[in-house]
Structures are given as structure tokens and as C-alpha cells.
Amino acid sequence: MSGGDGGSPRVRRVYDPLEDGDGTRVLVDRLWPRGVSKERAAVDVWLKDLTPSAELRSWYHEDRSGARYDAFVERYRTELAGPAPAEAVHRLLALLAGDGPVTLVTAVKDVSRSHVPVLVEYLEHERARGT
């Protein structure tokens, strides 16, 4: 399912080629992706406030074993409830409720062990709550 019908957003790496079905492309990284021009990225919206704080990101990446992932998830969920992230969440929920698909784009190498699945789950939870 994709955005525009209240469904989940698509998730793609910013380095992947554009696809016709991408719709509104939302960058969900705090830093601009290395080596990618704004034209090539084709980002419509950049929601930096949806991303983990610099402190949390650094803490998580200090340990490359992945052992901190569960703690990272909990800390990131807590951050998402803060004022600036909450505003960005509402903006993204509005995009998802609008016309056409929404694609979250990221530069992370391992999307499945990043903030992105946590964000998607959080969006689904907030939508279910009716926020």
C-alpha cells in the first residue's frame, strides 16, 4: 500500500533510480546524502526533525555489532514524541492522507536496522490513534 489512501509509505534508498510510482519523495535523514545532487535525489520534502538526534545517531553507530538496536528503537520512539518531531510527524501524516503515493528516501545502507522502520511503525501507530 502507498500514501494517498492512508496506507504506509514506500521506502527506498536515495541512491536507487527514480520510479514513476514514487510520488512525493520525503528525505528522512538528518544529513544530505553524500554524492547525490539535489536534482538526482528528486526530494520534494526534507523532514530533518523526523530523524534521530545527532547524539542518538552517534551513540548507536559507536557499536557496529548491532547490539544496541533495541535500545536505539526505544530511545528514538521517545524522541519522536518531542515537539519538533511531533510537528514533522503530523506533516508526514497529512502527506500520506493526501493524493498520490509517498516514498520515504534514505541514504542508510541497512534500512532494516535503521530509524526508517521505526518511523514507519510510529506513523502507523499515530494514524491508528487518529492524530
Q: What is the pLDDT of residues 26-79, one digit of tens each?
A: 999 999 999 999 999 999 999 999 999 999 999 998 988 889 999 999 999 999
> Residue 85: which of 44, 22, 131 has the closest Cα?
131
Write out the H or E segment, with its range, that includes residue 129.
helix 115-129
Cα 122 → chain centroid: 10
Report the C-alpha gap between 118 and 131 in whole angstroms.
Answer: 17
Report the C-alpha gap between 3 and 73 in whole angstroms.
Answer: 24
Query: If you count DSSP H runs as helices and E runs as strands, how many of each does the chain have, helices first?
Result: 5, 4
What pLDDT digit, counting tens, does each position of 76-123 carry? 999 999 999 999 999 999 999 998 899 999 999 999 999 999 999 999
Model-level pTM?
A: 0.89
Report the C-alpha gap between 50 and 115 in whole angstroms.
Answer: 9
SS3 call for 105? strand
Distances (CA, A) of 104 to 13, 23, 64, 71, 120: 8, 10, 24, 23, 9
